[in-house]
Structure 1
């Protein structure tokens, strides 16, 4: 699969090398009708939610002059494919795509959603050359290009993300890192924005990304109206990290520090010193710290903090304990300390996390 993506990247870069270099812009449309043109490049197996949300979000953006009824449409959104006509989705229906890749030629923004076949080397290899040819139609200076979910694989293969910060769905992060080591992958955020290139973490994060683009193009008032019309928050707190499950697992006692880690998990509620942990293995603190890092890739303090965060997440999701009680049970001591650590690790407060994953209030 890695060689296939590399070949695709080489093909795309060579086929589009004659294109003018993108120049920064403010999101203003190029078209006489005053509308910003969005082209969505879809592939077989496209996820209907990702395709639909782009049309919904941009379609709901109206000029503020219209008041409560809404003014003129600010965007025109078209869907295109390598070959126009019926296109399979990952659901039990097909969609009819009226436009071919030439629609990318006069687009102000190009969006590449995911397909459930991204991780199928045979399928993606077969589509590699046509996709390269399709992306070569992007020739307008300053064209903005974005991906949703694993659509980032296409942008990375095309060389659009080299040296840039990007994101993709957390489940695909390891594959992405292996295939595209020259991309600065950040799997913890909902979306990234580097120059004229943007990436969203997953399907719902595509909504956040569309609102971000609308906000940048036409201001917060228009973006907020779109959010209200679609009954979504204008801005979500935190990032993708809060959605990544990291269950607290019992470590293997066969490793030289496994017994100490298992003991620590049973005593997370109280302060734990390096000396206490080292004593569980009858080692000096220095030897224990060195071996611990060799086996886990983390220092004992980093590992303990991570385990306490996961214990707190579990308690917030599964119990109605007050924040101070959760902090005590997970070893942070005080609610203030828990809030600080959760905000650093997940970008959200304990209350916001509980509301998201339990639906209750503190």
Structure 2
């Protein structure tokens, strides 16, 4: 894992550019130029004050040397962003013999405190303090007490270091807040995308469960009309009526499903009551009306007392199972059994024997049972399905019914 330069963490991403050697290099903005120029002028002003104070007791060559060396030290501050540590070490050593470099030392120490961890700041601050102490003896000022001069240097170094570390902490805090905001925004987008995906899956599952029943009726009766064009007019009229009614009901169910996509306050005209366990008799009657042999065995005392969500899930399971039985075992007797009471849960089972005649080809991918398994799991229950010992097929589900 590649280690990240701490200096890069303290700068906004748009201020960092990669050089040819792959290392991050800062790009000065207008604000950076203003700050650098201000610090250069402050360091030069401090250096000029030191040279002026020493003019009374230093020779002309020493004054000239201080001016040149101090000016070079101030000019070197323009490199403080690229080499803060090396520059601070060099200026601290130079300040031992050049008092005019004192301002540049403080500025370089401030840059280190802003960009480097405390360990580096501590030893560089100690080096600057030691250089200030040695300078008091190498280049003494006869007009000021030596102890006072050393103490004043220590105070300045501590203040500059603390100021730089405060700036560094503030930058880290701002960057951490920005990163947290970016992460929160990304997580919100992910949650929104996940919610949208789950909503789409729920709508697709509901659409399949509702429409598969209706479209199977359409397919079966349309196939019968195709293969029996010579059927009696009564049978043809009956099949056409079933196709018409099934198409109408399919449109109504589709309109009901699409209704969940409407914005709040939009017209809900055309919506019908959602199916529950109390409407299971109507589902069985509809299946019998189109020629299916369905036996309903229910032992639920009060179907209206079943929670609406649980009853609706039972209805969808029964609807899908009856549809599959009609597709894969036409003419077989289908048994629909519902048992349950509060506290024990609801059990629904749809069973059909092996088909006795040819199985008509009805389009379908078998995704309905997968959707029912997911629907039962979301309701807190379980669903099992598979062939029986006599060659038939059974779908059995259990759903919770709180006491």
TM-score (norm 1): 0.20
Please identify the structure whose Cα radius of gyration is greater.
Answer: 2
More RCO (CA 8 Å, sep 6+): 1
TM-score (norm 2): 0.19
